[in-house]
Chain A
Amino acid sequence: MSRKDKMESLDPATLHAFADGELEPEEAARIVMHLADCPADQQAVQQIMAMNALLARTCEAPLHEPVPPAIRAAIFGPPVAVSPPGTRKWARWAVGTGALAAALALAVVVLPRADGPALALGPVEPRSPMSEALDQLASGQSRLVARKTELGIVASFAVEGGYCREFALRHDTGPDQAALACSAPDGWHVAARQGAQVSAPASGYVPAGGDNDDPIGAQLDARGAGLALTPLQEAQARGAGWR
């Protein structure tokens, strides 16, 4: 081992800038040469890098967590209590599941032809604008999926057997709504929505029991969602058709 401890140390600011990747390539190369001959500075640089790694690790937890409901509500507005107009699927369930359901559905929802897309829980109509938006958009992107209604993707998650995408519907009139769609063999299914009053598995119509504070988070947990996908992972999942 060469001993050149007497080699003059560089000023600390330069070493910090080197460790942080702030230097131009030529300057950085010069420092690399210097470090080979100066164990003291080499150790200093290693210590700075180790501290960067330690601090990054210390604070990394939020990157692996979904957006907390309170913050989501601050951004998109409080959860809505009543489904936005245009939930055609509710009408279909009502017809199919008897008088009580019909009375409930009709009491809650007026059913003109929708301006907005149906944000009922359950399957999203294949090849509909909403289905295509869920297929195609990256997180952070949004597009109109119906007159005066925009769908924006919040995040995507790998779950058991496929993927889920958290999204928000913004209506020109009325509050925004956050929801979660998950992939299934026959396309996207809306699996949860913020402030949902009913949960409807594919098989039928079930009035909600208690109001869950965070139905989206609960649904993600139930499906074993991992971390939100990075843009690269998301692009790969999109390329593979969300299978």
Chain B
Amino acid sequence: MRPEFANELVRLVPRLRRFALGLCGNGADADDLVQAACERALANAGTFAQGSRMDSWMYRIIQNLWLDSRRRLRVRGTVVDPADAGLHDGGLAARGAEDRMQLSRVFGEMDRLPEGQRAVLTLIAVEGLSYREVAEVLDIPIGTVTSRLVRAREALAVGLAPKGGLQ
């Protein structure tokens, strides 16, 4: 492994944790996911094309591992309680009660989205990727990115609207 590889990877960790938090909705699962992704990345370091973007590569690994774990959960029939989801995060403990409630609501609504929509929405709204970058990371046509994004936002707007909208 190139020595810079680990360095570059650790530098990405805050952003990877943020993306994973957007996918998982709680800090503990997000950190497990990022750790698993880092382990996979290190095991496959040889396949990483030097000079290409490590963040895109890592986003893809995280998204794939997340999808795998969701599928396994579904097979086992485990139900994630969205109402709890936002409350397990260490970072949230420091926030005010009202803030925590809103975060919990947002994560709860995001949890209702189909996986593909949630991944697209998180990459664009949270990670700030362009539509083209998201298409590359998720390996889907750009038209699919747009349609998933629009549907995700519409669903979220409905879910979050009753308690006074977004502003």
Contact = CB atoms under 8 A, between A and B. Distances in A.
A231 B150 CA distance: 33
A65 B106 CA distance: 21
Given A62-B17, A71-B34, A16 B121 contact: no
A140 B13 CA distance: 12
Contacts of B154: 12
B71 to A, nearest CB: 23
Contacts of A140: 7-8, 11
A20 B131 contact: yes
B136 to A, nearest CB: 15
Contacts of A62: 14-15, 17-18, 21, 27, 30, 91
Interface size class of A (residues with CB under 8 A): 35 or more
B4 A152 contact: yes
Interface stretch (A28-36, A72-80, A106-114): A72-80
A105 B39 CA distance: 35
B7 to A, nearest CB: 4
Interface in B17-43: 17-19, 21-22, 27, 30-31, 34-35, 38-39, 42
A222 interface: no
Contact of A50 (B38, B147, B166): B166
Interface size class of B (residues with CB under 8 A): 35 or more
B59 interface: no
30 contacts: A12-B150, A16-B146, A46-B167, A48-B153, A50-B167, A51-B160, A51-B166, A52-B124, A52-B125, A54-B102, A55-B22, A55-B125, A61-B21, A62-B14, A62-B15, A63-B15, A67-B10, A67-B13, A68-B17, A68-B31, A70-B31, A70-B35, A71-B38, A74-B42, A75-B6, A75-B13, A75-B38, A142-B3, A152-B6, A168-B10
Interface of B: 3-4, 6-11, 13-15, 17-19, 21-22, 27, 30-31, 34-35, 38-39, 42, 89-92, 102-103, 106-107, 110, 121-122, 124-126, 128, 130-131, 146-147, 149-150, 153-154, 156-157, 160, 165-167
Interface of A: 12-13, 16-17, 20, 22, 46-48, 50-52, 54-56, 58-65, 67-68, 70-72, 74-76, 139-142, 150, 152-155, 168, 170, 176, 228
